[in-house]
Amino acid sequence: MAATLTPGIWQLDTAHTDIGFSVRHAGISKVRGSFTDADATLEVHDSLASSTVRASIKTDSFDSKDPNRDGHVKGADFFDVEGFPEMTFVSTGAQGSTEEFTLSGELTIKETTLPIELAVEFGGVAVDPFGTTRAGFSATTRISRKAFGMTWNAALEAGGVLVGDQVTITVDSAFVLPAAD
């Protein structure tokens, strides 16, 4: 990463970023959605291992394209957005090549902070027609929603439960390097 990225503090370009999730529903299909309000900084140093990422996501920006479900998930059974308006991620290390690496960090949802690992693919660096330097990344991880205190569920008549435990999180992001003063 350091060999292709200019050292400095890069800012998340929210207009070119998607933070998505999927979770098994009723044991037969997956529900997908996204978080639409996030902020992050990527602090690039001389090596991949010493570079850091800090991110926060507004839990109220949860959007599964179903207002009834969104209201339930934003409530006390899941995110409790009034009591916990954001979740955060702070990286603790990275290892691998500059093109594909594992980003380790701590994810905090509600009152629970747990270590996670994201499989990251570096998309490269480009200067857009407006002179802005951009870097792209794709990342994915799986978490247990129960481990973060989101245990609500409903039993199904045929057996099983309504909402799966494993949540896949995908992040397709762009960061921009602020212009030098």
Cα torsion 98, 99, 102, 107: sign: positive
Q: Which two tokens stand for residue 53?
A: 């990422």
pLDDT attached to residue 141: 97
Check if CATH label 3.40.190.10 holds for domain 14-175. Answer: no
pLDDT attached to residue 181: 53
pLDDT attached to residue 157: 84
* d(C-alpha 122, C-alpha 179), whole Å: 22
pLDDT in tens, 36-68: 999 999 999 888 888 999 999 999 999 999 999
Half-sphere exposure of 73 toward its Cβ, with a 13 Å CA cutoff?
20
Q: Is the confidence at residue 162, as pLDDT, over 70?
A: yes
Give this prediction's pTM: 0.91
Nearest CA among 122, 114, 95, 89 for reference residue 19: 89
